[in-house]
Amino acid sequence: MFYMDSQSQFTVDIICKVIDGRISITSATTLLNKSRRTVERYLNRYRKEGIRFVIHGNKGRSPVNKIANSLKEEVQNLIQTKYYDFNLQHLAELLEKNEGISIKRETLRSWAHDIHHVKRAKRRRSRVRKYRPRMESPGLMLQMDGSPHRWFGEEKSCLIAMVDDATSDIHAEFFPSETTEGCMRVMKAYIEKRGIFKTLYVDRAGIFGGPKRSNFSQMQRACEELGIEIIFANSPQGKGRIERSFDTFQDRLVPELRLHGITDMDAANSYLQGTFIPNYWDKNITVQSKTISSAFKPLPPELDLNAICVQKEYRTIRRDHTFSFDNKMYVIDSPIRYSIENQKVEIRCQFDGTFSAYFGHRRLDITELVEPRKTHEYGMEVQRKIEAVELAQQLGSIAKAARIIGCSRQSIYTYQQVLEAEGPIGLKRINKPLKRSKNSIPESTENKIIELTLEDPHTNALQLMKSLKQEHDISVSSSTIQNIWKREQLNTKALRLKRSQALNIDV
């Protein structure tokens, strides 16, 4: 028993009429829109098999080129577990490279759609913008920008990159955030590799001297000293070359870093510059420029990149040949024949925290002036509070320091917090240590509550109250225990576990 559709029923009806002699074979070919040979073949099969001739011989058979279901399940499992954040083209490449599985893109797309694991493309902009052709020669214009993203691990970092507009040659590096230091390091590395370029195309961020920095920045100053012109883009689409490169990095680099288990910045920079850029970017993204000639110029011998790509500040020299910097006083020790008072000394701050002073391209020998500290500079009361905090740090126990000084532990906690936040001046605003209230529980009871809490940090206030009553004959309310926990910063289970583990490690 089998079922026929309307077309099959019509074919059977026409062949039956030909067999009965009611219509000719020529009329059947016209009605069925088949050739005469096909109709004759239908007649021969009808005489042998009956109406089953209408069923195609391959019905129910698997196609010769059908891919096994086991391979499909294997690929879908890899997509769900290992390659879940790769796009289809990147996924096909890695399946062939890492797993030895070669699949056509459309087949892979249909398998990924079946399990709803297709990485969707971003919505394309609807606004039409004028196309700008590439520069003719490398070095005429470079685009620079930073892209904050969760590139590796759970924390966000920033990828700062420079790309040549003519060839798409790129240099990129990861930094904690988009800073002047990061931009200068990337520019310095590119100049050391290729040479000095003509123009730098950037957005209007303050790092590059945009309106937020009143049209001045350290990057702008460094570019002026190198003879590089900065051009500001009016929109992100204006510097689309670098913006699209970040799309490629986020689409391909992020899953590759995850696949290789890279979670720290040094390893990410090593993989980016040693593997990703040479093996993928240089082979697939970079193009030949229109002209062979290059606009890059070698670095002149009189220019020192280490002296240009730094933070520079200026200070006025006083009559006694001293100047102030970073809230400290410095005296010039270098021998100078004439007075240079009211002149500007150039402070070159390296990114490692060190700095040096220059006057007229001559490095000056300087010494920090350390003034003697006044005895009890902030008063005797503040001095006693500072000594209480220092004693607690020496003993490693606030309770012991409180007993020796004769104040409460809460007072020393308060001194520590104010000293860290505001310094010694903040201690002047604190009144004298408060005496314990008449209604407060004994200090030994508080110590016992804290001791039992740290021994079993999972217990709650009610359980601890019952334990104190039954085992130690101490009667306190659960609210009192909670107040003590709050004061000692033990009011949550996580805080109690953390303090307990810290004590166990110290022991």
Q: What is the pLDDT of residues 188-240, one digit of tens each?
A: 999 999 999 999 999 888 888 776 666 578 898 999 999 999 999 888 888 88
pLDDT at 286 exceeding the cut of 90? yes
Q: What is the pLDDT of residues 297-353, one digit of tens each?
A: 999 988 889 889 888 989 999 988 899 998 889 999 888 888 888 999 999 988 888
Task: Give the pairing type, strands 199-202 and 141-149.
Answer: parallel
Q: CA 29 to CA 257: how far, in whole Å?
A: 64
Contact by Cβ (8 Å): 164, 138: yes
Please list the residues that pair with 349 across neighbouring strands: 311, 355
377: its two tokens: 């500079």
For residue 353, how far is the Cα from the chain centroid?
25
Q: Which of 183, 221, 229 is nearest to 307 (CA)?
A: 221
Its pTM stands at 0.57
Residue 404 has a pLDDT of 77
Task: Provide the pLDDT confidence category of residue 416 given band limits of 50, 70 and 90.
Answer: confident
Is the Cα dihedral 483, 488, 489, 493 positive or negative? Answer: negative
Torsion angle, alpha carbons of 426, 432, 433, 437, to 10: -130
Where is pLDDT greater, at 432 or 60? Answer: 60
pLDDT at 376 exceeding the cut of 80? no
Query: For residue 127, how many C-alpha atoms fall within 13 Å in the half-sphere facing its CB?
Result: 4
Please list the residues that pair with 328 across neighbouring strands: 325
Give one DSSP letter per residue of 315-360, joined into a string. Answer: EE--TTSEEEETTEEEEE-S--SS--TTPEEEEEE-TTS-EEEEET
pLDDT at 130 exceeding the cut of 60? yes
User: Could you tell me how many residues make up the chain?
Assistant: 507
Residue 507 has a pLDDT of 38
Q: How many CB atoms lie within 10 A of CB 365?
A: 11
pLDDT at 457 exceeding the cut of 90? no
Residue 496, classed as helix, strand or coil, is: helix
Contact by Cβ (8 Å): 91, 108: yes
Task: Provide the pLDDT confidence category of residue 375 given band limits of 50, 70 and 90.
Answer: very low
Amino acid at 72: K
CATH fold of 141-284, please? Nucleotidyltransferase; domain 5 (3.30.420)
Return the ∠ at Cα 130 (arms to 129 and 131), rounded to 5°: 115
Q: Which of 172, 182, 158 is nearest to 273 (CA)?
A: 172
Q: Which of 489, 388, 480, 387 is nearest to 502 (CA)?
A: 489
Q: CA 288 to CA 421: how far, in whole Å?
A: 58
Contact by Cβ (8 Å): 117, 79: yes
Task: Provide the pLDDT confidence category of residue 138 given band limits of 50, 70 and 90.
Answer: very high
Residue 371 has a pLDDT of 65
Residue 85 has a pLDDT of 84
Residue 430 has a pLDDT of 60
Element (H, E) at 175: strand 170-175
CB < 8 Å & 24+ apart, contacts of 55-58: 55/2
Q: CA 476 to CA 464: how far, in whole Å?
A: 10
Contact by Cβ (8 Å): 184, 309: yes
Q: CA 206 to CA 217: how far, in whole Å?
A: 7
pLDDT at 292 exceeding the cut of 80? yes
Return the ∠ at Cα 116 (arms to 112 and 122), rounded to 5°: 90
Residue 326 has a pLDDT of 86
Residue 433 has a pLDDT of 45
